[in-house]
Structure 1
Amino acid sequence: MDAVASTRDRITLTGIRVRAHHGVFDFEREQGQEFVIDVSVAVDLAAAASGDELARTVHYGELAVAVAEAVERDPVDLIETVAERVAGVALGFAGVEEAEVTVHKPGAPISVPFEDVSVTVVRSRA
């Protein structure tokens, strides 16, 4: 029985840690802080699996580096903007049909006790 191609196939990277200088406050831009990124991309994995070929899938090591570089560059005010940027980078990989990106800001300047704050975007190829 042949496998059926599915965009439900996913490659997921969880907990990519990046030090960057995003935020609306001057001290966030000056001091920087840790951001944690989760990325899940929808890609048909049947061809890669059947032929056991790296060239027919998304190289998750390269994806991780590209995500980290996207987070590190060009400080912005909002983590929503960072998430959008990362989604664009992920969609730039051949075969990626959808990207779900969560940007966590565990050190956000919030005046009440909290564990984490995050935003999630889901973007598809147009």
Structure 2
Amino acid sequence: MTGTITLTGLRAHGRHGVYDFERAQGQDFVVDAVLHLDLAPAARTDDVADTVHYGELADGLVAVVTGEPVNLIETLADRLLDVCLADPRVVTATVTVHKPQAPVPHAFTDVAVTLTRHRDPGHRPDDRAAR
């Protein structure tokens, strides 16, 4: 039973950007993550060990946003995808990074980048030890 786990609006303060003032002052980034995986085992056992623990996922995503600065939110989104796909049960992940305080000299609501990555088709969820 393929399903999705969605984490929306995760906010963390990071120092990403191409300008010195973005690195010095930092700003809030908002992350949305959608994970596609088989949710049948968790539905059957009612055990968090049989799914992606979204609290731990949030911790990992925040660690990336608050961690090493990058110039582009495209790069940040790619690093966040690494976190999402760290669990071998995740088949596909989509991450959107919002930069609502981007240095744009016009009125705007949001700037965002969305990336999707699919796991290698040869991957099997029971290959955890092989990774």
Shorter-chain TM-score: what band? over 0.9
Q: Do structure 1's residue 103 and structure 2's residue 97 form an aligned pair?
A: yes
TM-score scaled by length of structure 1: 0.93
Structure 1 residue runs of 4+, over 2 Å off? none
Name the residue aligned to 1:57: 51
The one-letter code of the counterpart of 1:14 is T
The one-letter code of the counterpart of 2:14 is A
- Provide the identity percentage: 52
Alpha-carbon distance in 1 for matches of 2:56, 2:10: 13
Alpha-carbon distance in 2 for matches of 1:80, 1:36: 13
Q: Deviations over 1:1-53 (max 9, x none)?
A: xxxx32xx100000110100000000000000000000010111011101111
How far is 1:71 from its partner?
Answer: 1.3
TM-score scaled by length of structure 2: 0.89
In structure 1, which of residues 69, 82, 106 is the aligned counterpart of residue 63 of structure 2?
Answer: 69
Alpha-carbon distance in 2 for matches of 1:23, 1:112: 18
SS at match of 1:112: coil
In structure 1, which of residues 69, 75, 93 is the aligned counterpart of residue 87 of structure 2?
Answer: 93
Unaligned runs of 5+ in 2: 121-131
Unaligned runs of 5+ in 1: none
Q: Deviations over 1:61-118 (max 9, x none)?
A: 0000001001111101000000000001110013111110000000000011000000
The one-letter code of the counterpart of 2:4 is R
Alpha-carbon distance in 2 for matches of 1:27, 1:57: 40
Name the residue aligned to 2:111: 117
Alignment of 1:2-17 (within 5 A): 5-6=1-2, 9-17=3-11
SS at match of 2:33: strand
Cα RMSD, aligned residues only:
0.7
Q: Is the CA contact 1:58–1:94 (under 8 Å) kept in the aligned structure 2?
A: no
Q: Is the CA contact 1:18–1:36 (under 8 Å) kept in the aligned structure 2?
A: yes
The one-letter code of the counterpart of 2:95 is V
State the aligned residue count. 120
How far is 1:59 from its partner?
Answer: 0.4
Q: Do structure 1's residue 33 and structure 2's residue 43 form an aligned pair?
A: no
